């Protein structure tokens, strides 16, 4: 089971559904009941984006030169 962010193609409703990937196509829109939806990819990844210590953004040291 995983959370999927979906958008209904019929009524443009965006909703989140917890379902296994194999059952994703069976998910119905909570508004109109349509199964015609697409996945929405949101950039809500929880990572070390906090601007606490360090004083801002520190670029990865990979040596681009």
The footprint of Zn ion (CB under 5 A) covers 8, 10-11, 13, 29, 31-32, 34
CB of 31 to Zn ion, least distance (A): 4
Other CB atoms within a 10 A radius of the CB of residue 52 amount to: 6
Q: Which is nearer to Zn ion, 23 or 38 (CB)?
A: 38
Q: Which is nearer to Zn ion, 18 or 43 (CB)?
A: 18
Q: Write out the H or E segment, with its range, that includes residue 40.
A: none
Q: Which two tokens stand for residue 20?
A: 């296994």
Q: Which is nearer to Zn ion, 36 or 54 (CB)?
A: 36
| Biggest CA pair distance of the chain | 54
């Amino acid at each position: 089971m995983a959370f999927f962010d979906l958008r209904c193609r019929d009524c443009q409703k965006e909703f989140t559904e917890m379902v296994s990937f194999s059952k994703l196509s069976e998910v119905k829109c909570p508004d109109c009941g349509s199964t015609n939806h697409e996945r929405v990819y949101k950039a809500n990844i929880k990572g070390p984006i906090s601007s606490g210590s360090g004083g801002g953004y520190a670029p990865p040291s990979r040596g681009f030169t």
